[in-house]
Amino acid sequence: MTGPAAAALRDIPVEALTAEQAATELHALADEIAAYDRAYHQDDAPLVDDGAYDTLRRRNDALEARFPELIRADSPSRRVGAPAAPGFARVQHVRPMLSLGNVFSDEELLEFIHSVRRFLKELRDDPGLPLEFVAEPKIDGLSISLRYEDGRFTVGATRGDGFTGENVTANLQTLDDIPKRIPGAPAVFEVRGEVYMRRAEFLALNERQQETGGKIFANPRNAAAGSLRQLDPTITASRPLRFFAYAWGEVSEPVGETHQGFLGRLQTMGLQVNPEARLCRTPDEMVAFCRELGDKRALLPYDIDGIVFKVNRLDWQERLGFVSRAPRWAIARKFPAERARTRVNAIRVQVGRTGILTPVADLEPITVGGVVVARATLHNEDEIARKDVREGDTVVVQRAGDVIPQVVAVVPELRPAASQPFVFPRTCPECGSAVLREPGVAANRCTGGLVCPAQAVERLKHFVSRDAFDIDGLGERHLVAFRRDGLIANPADIFRLKDHAEAIRGRERWGERSAANLLAAIEQRRKVPLERFIYALGIPQVGQATARLLARHYRSLAGWRGAMVEAADPASDAARDLDAIDGIGPSVAADLTAFFAEPHNLQVLDDLQGEVAAEDFAGPAAGAGSLAGKTIVFTGSLAQMTRSEAKARAEALGANVAASVSRRTDFVVTGADAGSKAKKAAELGVTTLTEEEWLALAGEG
């Protein structure tokens, strides 16, 4: 199942979906949101507006809440940003730079507060115990980290994918808001915050760019990101960039007892914090602040798209920990999206690497909230029919700060008299093969397979993409030409292009230097991390997060490949082990075993392994201790902390938390009324721990 296959399901209430329908839609959402994340974080060129993006995120969260057994390892709820872009050295974050969960109403904000109370035992048991939050405007800029050692600024990096960012130290040193030295700072002090641009300075910059023939930026956020990610620091120095600090990463000593106190400490160190930040002591104060800041939003000198609320007590933040890509102790209350009307000039159909046909609306360019928008995906045939979108229609589009809008609805009274419903093609626009639509599935798929140039090229594009093998200089145009002329047919052929060096140098628009650069870039990718290798194979439902989860679990290519082949037998230990991985559901497991059951795929894999090597998994340091790298299963009721808090603590110590017991399980923690999992542990000889033994092992005893 694919993204377009699920779009028609989005109008069905979550509570009315079957598990099979939910799995289809979760697959689609994972792929679609990943593409939007890459465009936003890597390219500073968003492909969808904030309102549409948030709608997809909320739908994903609702599906996962109802079907927790279907949560995917590559779920957007487990992923942050996108990998670092080429052109900058990479910086690995000692503590991941994660994102925030979102709420969109007062009711959802209050539910978040209740969830914090439910998580912490003392708050759950005493409803009257105060719970304070610090509220800060959510700046629409670029997240960065600043590392200070012995008070001296040493390294500055972008967030990237949350684990690895871009080294932009030289550029950040040009910002007046970032001090070069901080007297009295801890020996290691990593400050995190947002680089942004004020509206007035953004408009002035665009005027200068227009006068000199330079790039015109769509909005202040894009201008800030583009200005910071310049290879020439003098360009960054010429741009009016500013910085607000709001968090910390790696530190050699505690930063304080409260978040409010931490912000005050930042100010004494010479760092800028948002002057609108406020301590809220009650839920009513939080709701009132949302309305107050929403009313004055347009009067602020910079763009904001919401308010961030953070639990004030830092010891409670520590205990709450993180879930997937976001902290449990913070939430972003987002503001509503903006809307406008424009015309659909044309509807085009594109073919993806899996053969799915996706319609795209070309729009009459229109400015919405200061940003020009010009196209939008229409998802699939059913989505077009449901909204009855036609060429020439006037449509309502929605955005909240990005470029490509969501088509909300058609304005029927403005429809041209001669308009006709859009007829979806029954043959592939790329190869002319028949288009197949299976019963009960929304996706139209080209049946051309390997004879379809769009699919073949898209598969190769995926293989060389930034998130996969990241081969610089091998773009779509070159892949199309090389494949057409018989130089490459499958991924391994890319690494044999050196045998065609003379032919490449003699091609139009190629020369000695460009050919040498390409071949050198290819040679540099003969070794890649295991998670990139897995992702590059293009296995259905295996996105970046799933690939990383598999790499972390199996550690080596040989271990993973052998386990996947063995897992084809549902009664095998390998199948049970795969099923036990938290985040790998039955649908993903089926796609993995199906991939390895196909002889052609194994031939491609053998060929590829003859040319490249996948490095064994080496994740970021998870912290010293006996739990790092161990697999833990919790069962029964715990007395001294909630199950959620226990799981969060285990993950913070570098452990893997599994949903079921297998031979790879290291510990089963048994609380009161432990059931079948404890029995299974005894049968397999897996070590069981009481709650007290678990607390001692976790350093809580």
Instruction: Please spell the DSSP secondary structure of 496-543, one letter per residue.
Output: TGGGGHHHHHTSTT--HHHHHHHHHHHHTTSEEEHHHHHHHT--TT--
Side chain identity, residue 31: D
Q: How many helices (H) and strands (E) does the chain have?
A: 27, 26
Contact (Cβ atoms closer than 8 angstroms) between residue 469 and residue 525: yes
Report the length, in residues, of the chain: 701
Provide the b/e sequence for 650-683 (b: ≥16 CB within 10 Å).
bbbbbbbbbbbbbebbbbbbbbeebeebbebbee
Query: To 5 degrees, how large is the angle CA 37–CA 210–CA 42?
Result: 15
CATH of domain 3-79+337-414: 2.40.50.140
Tokens of 89: 């050295």
529-615 classified as CATH 1.10.150.20: yes
H-helix or E-strand containing 91?
A: strand 90-92
**Lowest model confidence (mean pLDDT) among 146-160, 356-370, 681-695:** 356-370
The DSSP secondary structure of 11-48, one letter per residue, reads GS-GGG--HHHHHHHHHHHHHHHHHHHHHHHTTS--SS
How far is 384 from 364, CA to CA, in rounded Å? 18
| Residue spans of alpha helices (H) in 567-624 | 573-580, 586-597, 599-609
Q: Which amino acid is at 235?
A: I
Burial class (CB in 10 A: 0-12, 13-18, 19+), 158: buried
Instruction: Identify whether the C-beta of residue 616 lies closer than 8 Å to the C-beta of residue 570.
Output: no
Q: What are phi and psi of 347, to 5 degrees?
A: -120, 120
Share of the chain above pLDDT 90, in %: 44
Give 447-484 pLDDT, tens digit per residue. 776 567 888 888 898 899 888 998 988 988 899 899 88
Q: What percent of the chain is modeled with pLDDT above 70?
A: 90
Q: Where in the chain is the domain with CATH 3.30.470.30?
A: 90-332
pLDDT in tens, 21-33: 888 888 888 878 8
Does residue 663 contact residue 573 with C-beta atoms inside 8 Å?
yes
d(CA 454, CA 431): 8
Measured CA distances, 74 to 77, 92, 104, 548 (Å): 8, 20, 24, 9
Mean pLDDT across the stretch 395-411? 73
Catalytic residues: 138
| 242-251 and 188-196 strand pairing | antiparallel
Q: What are phi and psi of 485, to 5 degrees?
A: -95, 10
| Whole-structure pTM value | 0.53
Name the segment(s) of the chain with CATH classification 2.40.50.140.
Answer: 3-79+337-414
**Residue-level pLDDT at 81:** 47
328-337 pLDDT, tens digit each: 999 999 987 7
Cβ–Cβ under 8 Å, residues 124 and 60: no
Supply 40's token pair. 């936003």
Q: Is the predicted pLDDT of residue 2 greater than 60, yes or no?
A: no
Superfamily of domain 631-697: BRCT domain (3.40.50.10190)
CATH node for 90-332: 3.30.470.30
* Contact by Cβ (8 Å): 191, 251: no
| Average pLDDT for 103-132 | 92
Among 182-186, 419-423, 629-633, top mean pLDDT goes to 419-423
Span(s) in the chain for CATH 3.40.50.10190: 631-697
User: Residue range 187-208: average pLDDT?
Assistant: 93
- CA 278, distance to chain mean position in Å, is 29
* Interaxial angle between packed helices 50-66 and 19-41, expressed in degrees from 0 to 180 and rounded to the nearest 10: 150
State the average pLDDT for the chain. Answer: 86
Q: Which two tokens stand for residue 307?
A: 């308010």
Range with the lowest mean pLDDT among 16-20, 155-159, 527-531, 572-576? Answer: 16-20
435: enclosing H helix or E strand: strand 435-436
Which tokens is 60 given? 């994903």
User: Which three-class secondary structure state does DSSP give residue 348?
Assistant: strand
Calpha distance 471→210 (Å, rounded):
34
Tell me: the pLDDT tens digits for 626-639?
Answer: 677 788 999 888 88
Strand 527-529 and strand 613-615: the pairing is parallel
Q: Check residue 622 and give its pLDDT.
A: 41
Interval 212-229 mean pLDDT: 86
pLDDT, residue 623, reads 43
